[in-house]
Structure 1
Amino acid sequence: MAGTNKPPSRSLPSDVPHRVEFFQRHPDDDPSNASPGFDFLLACPTKVQATMLAVLKAVAEAPPKRFAGGGHWEAMHGSMTGWYEVRVDGSKPRRHYRLFCRLDTAAEAVDQPILAVITGMSKPIRTTFSNKDYEKVRDLGDEYLSRNPRSLKN
């Protein structure tokens, strides 16, 4: 009988603390090995960076499914179902800053689930991201999920 010797997929529990990790693009997809979420975070104003890092830490430790977002951690809907965003507003300049994240319980070679920071974007206050913007986020998420063990920033 023909078949694959592929091991059964495993799933880590989702109701335990997660480990924050930043997605790093694989050299086959991006020779520069960019880490879009990490690079975005570094480009944010210092206060926005600090708030985003504090939110990521609090969510990961809560764990995520038990975290009361307080407006900084939100589940997304529609075409972005399955995604979460860290939301912080900056004052100088007045912008919305967003980190787009996935909760990953299927990652191999890790001992706890991952809160994966995939990418980030900012926009002027009182504006929305376009469908094309969200498509780029989803494409990076698909790239992240396409490899297991995951491609993570060292």
Structure 2
Amino acid sequence: MAAASRAVALPTVVEELLSEMAAAVRDGARIPDEHLLSLKFVFGSSAVQALDLVDRQSITLISSPSGRRVYQVLGSAGKTYTCLASCHYCSCPAFAFSVLWKSDSLLCKHLLAVYLSQVTSTCQQLSVSDKQLTDILLMEKTHEA
């Protein structure tokens, strides 16, 4: 997970933390406790909730032949949210309220779980046609309305 793979940059401290965590995983080690503590310091309780989503393998990367990629995260309450890692977006209400409206969080737990699943290479993968991906996104939009 190189920093260049994300079109919109996260704050430098988060980029560095995720890069260090990815390096530890690549080297075959577990994520060091100090990185987990830093994660909790930056993201608060969302960090623990995001790690739980990763542990439960709740993240699926859906890709299509055109190169479009979206993530779906099965939330702790059983609802599925769509995340776009390239622009740091999640369809959950917490993202709209805490990240966009109040600006008191950098990410919601679902989007953080997406980044952590990239670091740990634990997200499930699903390849679909471009039409199927469009239908998935339209279905999400219909449920929001």
Alignment TM-score, normalising by the size of structure 2: 0.29
The structure with the largest helix share of the pair is: 2
The structure with the largest strand share of the pair is: 1
Q: Which has the larger radius of gyration?
A: 1
